[in-house]
Amino acid sequence: MNVETSTLFYTKSGNGKEVLLLFHGFGQDNAVFTPLAKSLADRYTCYIFDLYFHGKSKWVNDEKPLEKSEWRNIMQSFLNETHIKTFSILGYSLGGKFALATVEAFPQMTRELFLLAPDGVTTNFWYSLATYPWISRKLFKSMINHHGRFLTIGKSLHRIGLIDKGVLRFAEYQMDTAEKRKRVYYSWVVFRKLKFSMRDIGGLINQYKISLTIIVGKYDKVITPKSMNRLSQSVEHHRLHVIEAGHNLLSARELGNLL
C-alpha cells in the first residue's frame, strides 16, 4: 500500500468474522506472526504489517520523524482500501508503539487491544537521550557506524550499573551487523514522535470500553512487568498476564490461549 511517500506492506491471513491488526517487534517482519495467525484463523481475519525499515515496508523520508497525525492518515487509507469498520489490535515489542498510535487515532473503531511486552508504555531514558537532542542523535549515529565504540560504551555502562546485563546482550544481538545497526538508528530516530500519555490512552480505553490484555514475560529485562503499571493503573478493567518467559513471547506455548 503506497501512501504519500511511504510504502506500508501487509499480508492477510484467516477468515474469521473479526479483524485483527498485528504489528511485530524490532528486527522481524510479518512472517513472525504466521503461526499465531493460523491458530486464530477461525476467529480473526488477520492483517499483518511490516513496520518501516523492516520487511517490504519503505520509508523514504530519511530521518524525518513519523508524526502521529501522519500515521493516522496512513491507517485511514488502509481502512478505506479494505473497507474495515471495526478491528482489534495486537502489538509486540516495538509494534506496541504502532498499536498505541492506532488505538489513539481510532478508539471508536477498536474492540480489543492486545499488548505483548509493548514498547511505548514507558519512555526509556537512554532512548530519549539517543534520539531527542540533536547532538545526542549525532553521537548515537556515530556509535552505529563504529560498532566498537558502542560496545565499549555499553560495557562501561553495565559495569557502573546503568544497564542490565540482559539488556546489553539484547542490544549487542540487535546491533551485530551493519544492516542491523542502521535499522536500529532509523527506527529509533524516525519513530521518536510516537510517544503516549498512559492517562490519555487509559481514558480512551475506558471511554470506548476497549478490552485490554497485557502479556509480559516474568524474566524480561527489556520490557519488565513493573513498567506496565502506568497503563494498567489507568484502565478500569484489564487482563494482565505475567508468563514464564523472557522478551520473546511469541514462542510461548500458552500465548494463543491468552488472546
C-alpha cell, 16: 474469521
Q: Among 11-20, 87-96, 107-116, 139-148, whose mean pLDDT is lowest?
A: 139-148
Question: What is the pLDDT confidence band of residue 163, given thresholds at 50, 70 and 90?
Answer: low
Contact by Cβ (8 Å): 201, 234: yes
* pLDDT of 168 above 80: no
Question: What is the pLDDT confidence band of residue 177, given thresholds at 50, 70 and 90?
Answer: confident
CA distance 214 to 160: 32
Average pLDDT over residues 79-86: 97
Task: Give 52: exposed, middle or buried? Use CB within 10 Å, 0-12, 13-18, 19+.
Answer: buried
Q: What is the pTM of this model?
A: 0.87
Topology of the domain comprising 2-123+195-258: Rossmann fold (3.40.50)
pLDDT tens digits, 219-239 = 988 889 999 999 999 999 999
Mean of the per-residue pLDDT values of the chain:
86
**What is the model's pLDDT at position 221?**
82
Q: Which residue has the higher pLDDT, 125 or 13?
A: 13
Question: What is the pLDDT confidence band of residue 131, given thresholds at 50, 70 and 90?
Answer: very low
Instruction: Tell me phi and psi for residue 211, to 5 degrees.
Output: -75, 125
- What is the percent of the chain with per-residue pLDDT over 70, rounded to a whole number? 79
Average pLDDT over residues 98-123: 95
CA distance 234 to 213: 13
**What is the model's pLDDT at position 91?**
98
* pLDDT of 79 above 90: yes
CA distance 177 to 117: 25
The β-bridge partners of 45 are 19
* pLDDT of 141 above 70: no
C-alpha cell, 175: 546491533
Q: How do the domains of the chain map onto residue ranges?
A: 2-123+195-258, 125-190
Give me the residue label for grid cell 504489528.
23
Q: Among 33-42, 124-133, 198-207, whose mean pLDDT is lowest?
A: 124-133
**What is the model's pLDDT at position 48?**
98
* pLDDT of 59 above 90: yes
Q: Which residue has the higher pLDDT, 253 or 240?
A: 240
Contact by Cβ (8 Å): 10, 74: no
R_g of the chain computed on alpha carbons = 18
